[in-house]
Amino acid sequence: MKLTRRPVVAACLTALLALPALVAQAQDFQERTIKFGHLNNADHPVSAGVKKFAELLAAKTGGKMKVQEFPASTLGNELQQQSALQGGVQEMSAPATTSLAGIVKEFGLIDFPFAVSDFSQADALLDGPFGQALLAKLPEKGLVALGYWDLGFRNVTNSKRPITKPEDLEGLKLRVIPNPVFLETFKAFKANPLPMPFAELYGALESKAVDGQENPFAVILSNKMYEVQKYVSATNHVYAANIVLVSKRFWDKLSPAEKKAMNDAANEARSYQRTTSRAAAQKAVAELQAKGMQYNELSPAAQNAMSAIAKPVTDRLAASYDPVTVKLYNEELARIRK
């Protein structure tokens, strides 16, 4: 039987022809170290998302693009890190979307109370046309966004009493995010809202400078607020999301392949982070009770009463926003609530 070398030769030729493509692909990625800062502790689901993103990005770039995590406000508070990204001295952060209302006020729409009632509605709103329209407003502000992560539904804690109805908030000194939606909403509840950076919150609770605060369960647990707060009430008044931000100055230096790798890694990390965050929220309630906090849920009637009090506030604020964005927001809410 006569042996032929044609298959072997063909295979060698194919491999040789592929080499330039492989070399070009390798050259698409440069050695880069990305400083990724955020406000949460290293045991928080946001940190889990950063670690997963780092793992995925390293795998996609042959280890050339490395992520260095800076948790627990080590690079500054929300606004300091935002400024660092805009100035190009920090590459990435993952703040709550609330912190962006100062530069794109339509981000305040995400914070409207009782807008969504579950995670599927929240994901549909943010991953759909409305959420993407907000992301499109950021590059002109020096920021590029790679999508939304889960922070969870926000709930009130305080050292005075359980919150079972809107009237229970009256007179409480509550730390809120420095954001008009939160300030005006809690004023409508007749609380005394005090804007304050997150990094200062624990000390303010410990010294009794404020009576309470509002945050998702996992944030409450991770930051040991059970040490300085007695009551945790499942008000579920606002769904909160984190946003994965990149410095535009850094982004503009990247090759198309590097940008694609970062986008793909962020998209894949998003599902992992959301799943991790929502599981942590469920677990956190039991752990907070085990740490001695008194937990209560609000009746649907109480939540409806709070929603009714907040509606004039959100109507007034919406009137000051871009009408095209507000129209899209309302259309998307109507669609996802069906």
Task: Judge contact between 144 and 230, C-beta under 8 A.
Answer: no
What pLDDT was estimated at residue 177? 87
Amino acid at 96: A
Q: Which residues pair with 157 in a beta bridge?
A: 213, 232
Complete DSSP assignment for 309-324: HHHHHHHHHHTTS-HH
pTM of the full structure: 0.88
From CA 219, how far away is CA 204, in angstroms rounded?
Answer: 16
CATH of domain 31-337: 3.40.190.170
pLDDT in tens, 243-302: 999 999 999 999 999 999 999 999 999 999 999 999 999 999 999 999 999 999 999 999
Residue 121 makes CB contacts below 8 A (sequence gap 6+) with 336, 337
> What secondary structure letter does DSSP report for 96?
B
Q: Give the start-to-end residue ranges of the domains of the chain.
A: 31-337
From CA 134, how far away is CA 130, in angstroms rounded?
Answer: 7
Task: Judge contact between 178 and 197, C-beta under 8 A.
Answer: yes
pLDDT in tens, 136-152: 999 999 999 999 999 99
From CA 151, how far away is CA 148, in angstroms rounded?
Answer: 9
**E strands in the chain:** 32-37, 65-70, 92-93, 143-153, 155-158, 173-176, 192-195, 212-215, 231-234, 239-247, 294-297
Nearest to 235 by CA among 202, 273, 191: 191
pLDDT less than 70: residues of the chain? 1-26
9 exposure class (CB count in 10 Å sphere: 0-12, 13-18, 19+) = exposed
What pLDDT was estimated at residue 178? 84
From CA 46, how far away is CA 151, in angstroms rounded?
Answer: 8
What pLDDT was estimated at residue 14? 54
Residue 217 makes CB contacts below 8 A (sequence gap 6+) with 152, 155, 232, 280, 281, 284, 285, 288
Reported for 10-14, long-range contacts at CB under 8 A and 24+ positions apart, including other chains, are none
Strands 239-247 and 173-176: unpaired
